């Protein structure tokens, strides 16, 4: 039986949280309860550390050596990045071997594009340059290599793009089929570590000061501090929560009482569980741009930028194990949502509509991933992002 105020019930969350949305109806403000209950491929040649596995277009490089698994030897994945064993800092001259068909990467807003790092700026994460493309990968996002050891880019229909023995598209027509990975707001992951450290300290202080912690319909943390209820919706704060939870399996420094955490107690343990993975999808969704689809490629490549260490090691590079993560959209979003909608008369009048979340947000389109893998993780993340976007837009 549905709650009269509606709910969102996630298979791991188990919280019932009403959300308030404000909009205009007939010229007046009204309020309504909302009841919501592939790695990327780098263009160019070269060696170094980073997120794609295999030889191929290298025009991008890893950072300055934050990942411990890169200390011994070079994995196959390193070879699509600049820098190699000496961890050389990339320059425009070093990147001059990028093929002429590769797009010139945007430098504005990227770390390392200026004349050096200010004192105290912190370590750069994912000091990457070059175009990053969708490639063929296995269920956990590990790149599948061709007979020459090159990563294999795929086109929009999932077909392999033909490469030569050097791992480059055979011609310009083939190169035109490359799909560039869109990180949008997630490019903030490349910021100096000082930025993310400050964000983590801030969100940790909020959590440790809370007298109540629950989840909103999309799985974002909702805290009560000094009697004030607020959703942790800062993209940067959610990104560092994602990073810590996926890398450590818990939130280091979280000291809030266990009774306040309730079923969120897994945020304190020191092992990566399915509950952690589920929460991570919501944190990543909240960190993402509301209008940019989260994909397998953006997830796996982001993990590498952040230096997240997984338990699957292939050729010296590590990947997160998603084999235990399953996702079913219909059983996750079982409640109703109330929102405002134009009545269609052209008079600027809005009506209140209450529908199942599956209908209003997802058009009754189902999705199930029951065999584990990063595909379900990416879809769960993007579904939470879609719901956040719906909540933030009061009139539909």
64-92 pLDDT, tens per residue?
A: 333 333 333 333 333 333 333 322 222 33
The tokens for 190 are 């490349």
Residue 358 token pair: 């599956």
Is there a domain that residue 2 lies in?
no
Residue with more model confidence, 46 or 243: 243
C-alpha of 54 from chain center: 23
What's the distance, Cα to Cα, between the start and end of the chain in Å? 27
Would you tell me how many other CB atoms lie within 10 Å of the CB of residue 85?
12
Contacts of 47 (CB under 8 A, 6+ apart): 58, 74, 78, 79, 81, 82, 83, 84, 85
Q: Is residue 194 part of a domain?
A: yes
Convert the pLDDT of each residue in 319-361 to its tens digit: 999 999 999 999 999 989 999 999 889 898 999 999 999 999 9
Residue the block writes with tokens 């909540």: 391
* CA atoms of 141 and 150, how far apart (whole Å): 15
Confidence at 131, pLDDT banded by 50, 70, 90: low
Q: SS in 3 state form for 174-236? A: HHCCCCECCCHHHHHHHCEHHHHHHHHHHHHHHHHCCCEEEECCCCCEEEEECCEEEECCCHH
Report how many domains make up the chain: 2
Residues 227 and 376 reside in one and the same domain? yes
Rounded Cα–Cα distance for residues 391 and 389 (Å): 5
Cβ–Cβ < 8 Å for 326, 372 = yes
Cβ pair 391, 37 in contact under 8 A: no
Same domain, 305 and 366: yes
Under 8 Å CB-to-CB from 235, ≥6 apart: which residues?
Answer: 185, 188, 286, 287, 288
In this prediction, residues 381-394 reach a mean pLDDT of 94
Place of tokens 């509509």: 353
DSSP 3-state assignment of 108?
A: coil
Residue 121 has pLDDT above 70, yes or no: no
Nearest Cα neighbor of 77 from 98, 97, 62 is: 62
Q: Which of 180, 208, 241 is the last residue of a domain?
A: 180
pLDDT bracket for residue 6 (50, 70, 90): very low
Asked which of 180, 197, 218 is the last residue of a domain, the reply is 180
Q: For residue 191, what pLDDT is reported?
A: 86
Q: Please, which residues bridge with residue 368 across strands?
A: 328
pLDDT tier at 101 (50, 70, 90 boundaries)? very low
User: Is residue 68 in a domain?
Assistant: yes
**Residue 32: inside a domain:** yes
Q: Are residues 246 and 123 in the same domain?
A: no
Task: Tell me, yes or no, whether 249 and 334 share the same domain.
Answer: yes
Query: 121 vs 338, which has greater pLDDT?
Result: 338
pLDDT of amino acid 204: 97
In tens, the pLDDT along 173-231 reads 999 999 999 999 998 888 888 999 999 999 999 999 999 999 999 999 999 999 999 99
Q: Give residue for tokens 């411990």.
A: 68
Question: How far is 180 from 20, CA to CA, in rounded Å?
Answer: 37
Report whether 166 contacts 79 (CB < 8 A). Answer: no
CB 148 within 8 A of CB 167: yes
Looking at 180, 196, 217, which one is the last position of a domain? 180
**245 and 359: one domain?**
yes
Residue 75 domain-assigned (yes or no): yes
Would you say residue 390 lies in a domain?
yes
Cβ distance 303 to 320 under 8 Å? yes
Q: Which of 225, 218, 186 is nearest to 392 (CA)?
A: 218
Cβ–Cβ under 8 Å, residues 83 and 67: no
Structural domain of 160: 41-180
Token pair of 188 as six digits = 């903030």
Same domain, 316 and 336: yes
Residues 224 and 132 in one domain: no
**DSSP helix/strand/coil, 124:** strand
Is residue 256 one of the residues assigned to a domain? yes
Q: 332 and 227: one domain?
A: yes
Residue 13 CB burial class (10 angstroms; 0-12, 13-18, ≥19): buried
Task: Determine which of 51-60, 147-156, 330-339 has the lowest per-residue pLDDT on average.
Answer: 51-60
Same domain, 27 and 45: no
Are both 215 and 96 inside the same structural domain? no
The 10s digit of each residue's pLDDT in 270-318 is 899 999 999 999 999 999 999 999 999 999 999 999 999 999 999 888 9
| Domain match, 140 and 190 both | no
User: Are residues 223 and 232 in contact, defined by beta-carbon separation less than 8 angstroms?
Assistant: yes
Does 100 share its domain with 173?
A: yes
**pTM of this structure:** 0.71
- For residue 4, tell me if it sits in a domain: no
d(CA 161, CA 130): 19
């Amino acid at each position: 039986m549905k709650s009269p105020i509606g709910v969102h019930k996630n298979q791991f969350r188990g919280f019932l949280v009403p959300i308030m949305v404000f909009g205009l109806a007939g010229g007046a403000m009204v309020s309504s309860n909302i009841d919501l209950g592939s790695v990327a491929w780098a263009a160019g040649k070269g060696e170094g550390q980073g997120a794609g596995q295999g030889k191929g277009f290298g025009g991008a490089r890893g950072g300055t050596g934050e990942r411990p698994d890169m200390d011994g030897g070079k994995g196959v994945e390193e070879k699509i990045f600049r820098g190699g064993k000496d961890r050389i800092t990339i320059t425009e001259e070093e990147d001059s071997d990028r093929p002429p068909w590769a797009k010139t990467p945007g430098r504005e807003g990227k770390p390392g594009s200026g004349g050096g790092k200010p004192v105290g700026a912190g370590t750069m994460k994912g000091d990457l340059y070059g175009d990053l493309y969708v490639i063929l990968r296995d269920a956990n996002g590990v790149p599948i290599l061709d007979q020459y050891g090159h990563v294999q880019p795929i086109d929009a229909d999932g077909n392999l793009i033909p490469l030569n023995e050097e791992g480059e598209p055979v011609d310009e027509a083939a190169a035109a089929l490359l799909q560039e990975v869109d990180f949008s707001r997630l490019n903030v992951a490349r910021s100096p570590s000082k930025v993310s450290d400050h964000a983590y300290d801030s969100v940790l202080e909020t959590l440790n000061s809370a007298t109540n912690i629950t989840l909103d319909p999309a799985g974002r943390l909702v805290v009560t501090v000094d009697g004030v209820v607020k959703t942790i919706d800062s993209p940067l704060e959610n990104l560092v929560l994602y990073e810590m939870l996926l890398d450590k399996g818990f939130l280091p420094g979280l000291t809030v009482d266990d009774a306040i955490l309730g079923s969120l107690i897994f945020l304190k343990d020191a092992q990566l569980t399915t509950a952690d993975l589920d929460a991570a999808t919501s944190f990543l969704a909240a960190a993402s741009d509301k209008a940019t689809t989260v994909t397998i490629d953006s997830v796996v490549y982001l993990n590498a930028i952040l230096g997240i260490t997984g338990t699957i090691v292939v050729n010296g590079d590590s990947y997160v194990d998603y084999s235990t993560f399953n996702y079913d959209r219909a059983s996750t979003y079982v409640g109703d949502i109330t929102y405002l909608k134009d009545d269609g008369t052209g008079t600027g009048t809005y009506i209140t509509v209450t529908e199942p979340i599956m209908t209003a947000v997802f058009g009754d389109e189902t999705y199930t991933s029951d065999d584990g893998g990063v595909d379900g993780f990416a879809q769960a993340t993007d579904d939470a992002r879609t719901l956040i976007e719906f909540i933030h837009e009061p009139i539909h």
